[in-house]
Structure 1
Amino acid sequence: MHIRFDVPADPAYPGRVAAALSSVRLRRYGYIGAVLAAVGAIGFVVSRGFAWADQVSSLCMAMVVVGLLSMLYSPWVAWRARRRSSRYAVEGGYDITDDNIMMRSGSESGGIAWDGVTRVKDTPEFWIVFVGRMPATVIPRRLMAAEDAETLRAFMAERGLLQLR
């Protein structure tokens, strides 16, 4: 397998990449926030009928507020990543072989060996490549030829790396 494609200098592209990577890293904050908000709301409602309601209700309201803020943290970070990275638009490209994924962006280049990849998450626009537990890079499916995308999908599925949405 040898897949090569270019990435145009689109000002929106670095922001989409940054938002995709940050959403993967920060998803747990949304889950933790939902649990905190739910437990706080339930605690607030249940405590209303007891004599010690005043002491517990402030704790429960704090849990609800912290939970809501935690749920909003991930979208806020993604929004900031999109806004800040839009000025980093440069031409780049990918060169994907059986051995590694080579990426270049402007004058910088780097690569990831397939042996180091632990999983690949499928999203609507990207394949997010994980090394260990951390997302390392993305492969933009929409910029590839359809045949190349299918070849790469089959390669990743054969290696047991592809994790569907």
Structure 2
Amino acid sequence: MHIRFDVPADPAYPGRVAAALSSVRLRKFSYIGVVLMAAGVIGFAASPRFRWAEQASSLWMAMVVGGLLSMLFMPWVRWRARRRSSRYAVEGAYDITDDNIMMRSGSESGGIAWDGVAQVRETPEFWIVYVARMPATVIPRRLMSAEDAETLRAYMAKRGLLRLR
């Protein structure tokens, strides 16, 4: 297998990559926010019935506010990542072989060996490549030809790396 494709200098592309990688890392804050808000609302609901719950009304309010802020953290970070990364738009390329994934962006280049890849998750626009438990990079499916995308999908499935959403 040898797949090569270019990445144009699109100002929106780095933001989409940053948003895809940050959503994976920050999803837990949304879950924490839901739990905090639920606990705060339950505390407020229990306040009229239990005297101790009435005395802790500031705690319930802090939990609701903390939960709301935690749930808004991920969209805020994604928005900032998109806004800040637009100035990093440079031409690049991917060169994917049976051994590794080589990436070039401007004058920088790097690669990941397939032996070090733990899993690959699929999103509508990217394949997110994980090394151990951390998302390391993305492979943009929309920039590949349909034949190359299917070849790569079959290769990752054969290696047991592709994990569907």
CA distance in 1, matches of 2:35, 2:59: 15
CA distance in 2, matches of 1:52, 1:113: 58
1:158 corresponds in structure 2 to 158
Percentage of matched positions with identical amino acids: 82
One-letter amino acid of the structure 2 residue matched with residue 86 of structure 1: S
2:7 corresponds in structure 1 to 7
Segments of 5+ residues of structure 2 without an aligned counterpart are none
Deviation at 1:53, TM superposition (A): 3.5
Secondary structure, aligned partner of 1:48 = coil
1:28 corresponds in structure 2 to 28
1:149 corresponds in structure 2 to 149
Taking structure 1 as the reference length, the TM-score comes to 0.97
CA distance in 1, matches of 2:67, 2:9: 38
Pairwise CA RMSD of aligned residues? Answer: 0.8
Taking structure 2 as the reference length, the TM-score comes to 0.97
CA deviations on 1:68-117 (whole Å, 9 max, x unpaired) are 10011011001000000000000001000010000000010000000000
Segments of 5+ residues of structure 1 without an aligned counterpart are none
Residue 43 of structure 2 contacts residue 53 of structure 2 at CA under 8 Å; is this kept in 1? no
One-letter amino acid of the structure 1 residue matched with residue 146 of structure 2: A
Superposition pairs for residues 117-136 of structure 1, below 5 Å? 117-136=117-136
